[in-house]
Structure 1
């Protein structure tokens, strides 16, 4: 996550500015003290859309995790699959049909019942998507996990992994798939598979995506009427003042949120977020600057460090420049980069140089892959051998953004570009605003040569990292390697976990030999709360649960 996953950001329908109630003031108790029931949390960017089935950015998914729930969910503070709206789940003998036993007595925020029919209404909505709903920038996660749709409108889309949903009774549902996949059931804990109220989906025409591929217009459901079962309900989104307000779901079936009101306030500058916390304007924020972690701790703030479950990588687009299709040039770029210096100088304590495109806490990580040590002379030799000693590359980097794996993009760009220049590579700097310019240019375009992006894992499986990047042709990397793609398909369909792990190890080795880009680092991002705020547990998936947040009396 994303969060989570960076994809091309799309234009949204205009949203009227709505008043946000109770932003800054706390409800006062008697003279013996005070109680606080409103928490304002600073985030680095605006959410793009409030329907998580159409979202791929971390801020949209952060909101979704409070409003919606999924059949299964990550354990608090970890990556293990645990019950969500389903209490239990079992596969059939073939491993292609999974039976989920659902919680009873659960209601959506509009008062309608959650049941097996509602589950099927959601999966059938995604599966039967048409038109712009099949855009990879609209249903990114469905396509990453399930592939295609009931009727693919793009010949490049693969067949759908999902096959059918059957409501056996009110609390029993069967999800059938076309084959065994390592992604099931873990991928179903992604916020993108959140269960929505079928009534609200129909009432607000949730699938009525209009506009064009370059100018998507979302329906009102996706911007003003998200309706889930979670501990918080959507209240308002004041676009002009960059605040989104949630309120406690008083009819929640489980432990009710301790906060009455939760507000996400966009403050794009990290220093501004820090000052807002110190002044009391907000009571927490994400993406703490590495240099601020210890000072905030010493001043008594509640700093939580997430485990490093992410990857920052330098992507090399083989379509952008024919020279980059030569593996020797890609190897030269890898040897030119002083990744350890970047980790030591720009990333928080606990960060480390990446050897695979996934962290070593995920099964399938392989320590026996080709390594590319910092060696400028070897880089020069490889460039000369490839006839690329006077190479000029367009290097895109983002502005106006902070990500868990990328605390300061400009600093990272300056270090990496200096390394490249030192071996004779001419660098054309192309700074672009993160959303939508940078994401559009690097994930959907072909004019970039180099850029850096990253990924925070969605669940603890190797496919969620390396499969997301390299299992099929993608514009970000600009290569076709059928042998590699076939290896991914084979690994994903291997039912035996131990055998699958070995295949992922082999895939990590194959990826690092082919070298479509350079894995740079894994970084443990920090999240901070006020001195009197407690109850939130840091998540490697950025799945922090604000329902348990409270102010100490």
Structure 2
């Protein structure tokens, strides 16, 4: 089940498998052949490695991951890992409010009943913990458990230090300076700088029972298969690497209003989009992530439910500005590429399950601002900017981009990247070499320094991004978040951005925060660290038996509302 089958027929002519590359000498696949015949493929469903359970109240979900996300309490595989093996099992002091469909998901109290910024020190936050909460193994959740987990992530010499989980957490909370226990039900955290958006970082710090680590003989590798205990509405009951993770309802969950309606959940990694659709049609799963766009009409006609909706998502190419010989150091080149992309053509190819992206935020967002550049498909302007930077038909711009074969938020990366590759060549004479790798390999590359060997010379990475809040913006673009310490992989720095971000971080007046947010986003457009391509519309396909699902404006979902009828 964990093997990679995500390349569509014919794609091998242009987009190669892990570690290999495609050159401009190879034949570009015509757009009409980007998607294979869904009906033909669905008729021959790929058998799953494990049979579906007989229990009618077990919800079966096909993920896009090539392997199951790690199960120690800080899952890998990006936000798909957090969506299915993070929040349902392991919770944070603060949680996402996933009840609304008409506005971006906000924050709500989780394992902390409340949090406040210290009136004496804007760098310090106080968290009052929720009483009477227990981990799945029955041990109490308290301040000692909080500090133990924070040491796991942030204290390299602690006995429970977990390097993979630490790398993920530190990148999401790059401004953590310290923390301490105040009493059994109160902790404080201190940041390196004042940050009004710090709660939007705390939401990503998840908590595992210290007893899980002790039971596994102080070995995180063994914790992953125990299974580990969290505090969430579901608990892990079985882990079969590369095949399946089984969850069961936590009948002792602390929030009585959110007890799950299904008895359990089975999570299966099926990276190939056509295999996912075949599994849904054959009744092997009840729910699939990212159905192939060409298959959506036939699924609807067959009675399956298709859900879509706006959410904070960007599908870009992230420029490698910091590499020694990167052609993308020149802002004119970065702007030119943004004028050379036919976003509308790509949306059409995707049957409308995306919308054009001309900035980190959507153009309709009230915080988009008024940048000088409003990117459209304008090859003439793109070629003029390239010429100013020294790139012409006689000396074309050439670079390599690393992409994934599947993964969280990656949509359908192989045909989409083939489209962009062909588009840039036809519209502006840009030669792009594509290196397709597994999703986790790409995520590792995104945390590397610009000249790291793991990048294999890539001048751009296709890693989708959330755009949900200022905390994420700071993690991706602040100078203090340069890789490998944060998510600023391009090592992009902009003085105007930094000044406005500082104002935003220290502000308390809503009008001042709004003005500063517009100002920082304008810099992300006019001095672009990314090639903005599309925003996903978050499609999912489900059996008609699945009821009660809410599609929030978030990368995450609430599985507790779902039932099978």
Q: TM-score range by the shorter chain?
A: 0.7 to 0.9
Cα displacement (A) at 1:424: 5.3
Distance 1:178-1:477 versus aligned 2 partners, 3 A rule: closer
Does structure 2 retain, via aligned residues, the 8 Å contact 1:312–1:455?
A: yes
Number of the residue aligned with 2:541: 528
Number of the residue aligned with 1:38: 58
Q: 1:111 aligns with which of 132, 138, 147?
A: 138
Query: Secondary structure at the residue paired with 2:275?
Result: helix
Q: What is the root-mean-square deviation in Å for CA atoms of aligned residues?
A: 3.2
In the alignment, the residues of structure 2 paired with residue 435 and residue 188 of structure 1 have an alpha-carbon distance, to the nearest angstrom, of 25
Q: Mean Cα displacement is larger for which, 128-137 or 315-324? A: 128-137
In the alignment, the residues of structure 1 paired with residue 522 and residue 466 of structure 2 have an alpha-carbon distance, to the nearest angstrom, of 21
Number of the residue aligned with 1:465: 473
State whether structure 2 residue 200 is matched by structure 1 residue 196: no
In the alignment, the residues of structure 2 paired with residue 134 and residue 502 of structure 1 have an alpha-carbon distance, to the nearest angstrom, of 41
State whether structure 2 residue 552 is matched by structure 1 residue 539: yes
Cα displacement (A) at 1:244: 1.0
Does structure 2 retain, via aligned residues, the 8 Å contact 1:364–1:503?
A: no
Cα displacement (A) at 1:220: 1.9
State whether structure 2 residue 122 is matched by structure 1 residue 92: no
Number of the residue aligned with 2:235: 233
In the alignment, the residues of structure 2 paired with residue 362 and residue 124 of structure 1 have an alpha-carbon distance, to the nearest angstrom, of 38
Distance 1:383-1:369 versus aligned 2 partners, 3 A rule: closer
Distance 1:425-1:437 versus aligned 2 partners, 3 A rule: farther
Q: 1:332 aligns with which of 320, 329, 336?
A: 336
State whether structure 2 residue 275 is matched by structure 1 residue 272: yes
Query: Could you list the per-position Cα deviations for residues 388-444 of structure 1 after superposition, in whole angstroms to 9, with x for gaps in the alignment?
Result: 22134233253531543x432222222222232235535242332223444444552
In the alignment, the residues of structure 2 paired with residue 516 and residue 540 of structure 1 have an alpha-carbon distance, to the nearest angstrom, of 25
In the alignment, the residues of structure 1 paired with residue 163 and residue 515 of structure 2 have an alpha-carbon distance, to the nearest angstrom, of 30
Q: 1:395 aligns with which of 400, 405, 429?
A: 400
Structure 1 residue runs without a partner (length 5+)? 1-8, 10-19, 28-35, 148-159, 209-217
State whether structure 2 residue 502 is matched by structure 1 residue 490: yes
Does structure 2 retain, via aligned residues, the 8 Å contact 1:54–1:140?
A: no
Number of the residue aligned with 2:88: 66
Distance 1:316-1:176 versus aligned 2 partners, 3 A rule: closer
Query: Could you list the per-position Cα deviations for residues 82-104 of structure 1 after superposition, in whole angstroms to 9, with x for gaps in the alignment?
Result: 12122233333244433333332
Number of the residue aligned with 2:523: 510
State whether structure 2 residue 181 is matched by structure 1 residue 181: no
Query: Could you list the per-position Cα deviations for residues 161-207 of structure 1 after superposition, in whole angstroms to 9, with x for gaps in the alignment?
Result: 342222424x33333445431222232222xx11221222344366x
Does structure 2 retain, via aligned residues, the 8 Å contact 1:52–1:60?
A: no
Equivalences for residues 235-314 of structure 1 within 5 A: 235-239=237-241, 242-255=243-256, 256-314=259-317
State whether structure 2 residue 381 is matched by structure 1 residue 378: yes
State whether structure 2 residue 458 is matched by structure 1 residue 448: yes
Query: Secondary structure at the residue paired with 2:151?
Result: helix
Cα displacement (A) at 1:134: 9.1
In the alignment, the residues of structure 2 paired with residue 362 and residue 133 of structure 1 have an alpha-carbon distance, to the nearest angstrom, of 42
State whether structure 2 residue 61 is matched by structure 1 residue 24: no
Distance 1:223-1:483 versus aligned 2 partners, 3 A rule: farther
Q: 1:47 aligns with which of 46, 52, 68?
A: 68
In the alignment, the residues of structure 2 paired with residue 383 and residue 132 of structure 1 have an alpha-carbon distance, to the nearest angstrom, of 53
Query: Secondary structure at the residue paired with 2:458?
Result: coil
Query: Secondary structure at the residue paired with 2:116?
Result: strand
Distance 1:22-1:416 versus aligned 2 partners, 3 A rule: closer
Distance 1:174-1:467 versus aligned 2 partners, 3 A rule: closer
Distance 1:436-1:533 versus aligned 2 partners, 3 A rule: closer
Does structure 2 retain, via aligned residues, the 8 Å contact 1:107–1:229?
A: yes
Does structure 1 retain, via aligned residues, the 8 Å contact 2:179–2:187?
A: no
Query: Secondary structure at the residue paired with 2:189?
Result: strand
In the alignment, the residues of structure 1 paired with residue 182 and residue 533 of structure 2 have an alpha-carbon distance, to the nearest angstrom, of 46
Does structure 2 retain, via aligned residues, the 8 Å contact 1:49–1:223?
A: no
Number of the residue aligned with 2:183: 168
In the alignment, the residues of structure 1 paired with residue 75 and residue 125 of structure 2 have an alpha-carbon distance, to the nearest angstrom, of 24
Distance 1:495-1:166 versus aligned 2 partners, 3 A rule: farther
Cα displacement (A) at 1:263: 0.6
Cα displacement (A) at 1:41: 0.9
Query: Secondary structure at the residue paired with 2:476?
Result: helix
Query: Secondary structure at the residue paired with 1:67?
Result: coil
Number of the residue aligned with 1:146: 173
Cα displacement (A) at 1:74: 1.2
Distance 1:234-1:361 versus aligned 2 partners, 3 A rule: farther
In the alignment, the residues of structure 2 paired with residue 135 and residue 507 of structure 1 have an alpha-carbon distance, to the nearest angstrom, of 34
Number of the residue aligned with 1:57: 78
In the alignment, the residues of structure 1 paired with residue 177 and residue 309 of structure 2 have an alpha-carbon distance, to the nearest angstrom, of 33
Query: Secondary structure at the residue paired with 1:105?
Result: coil
In the alignment, the residues of structure 1 paired with residue 518 and residue 162 of structure 2 have an alpha-carbon distance, to the nearest angstrom, of 32
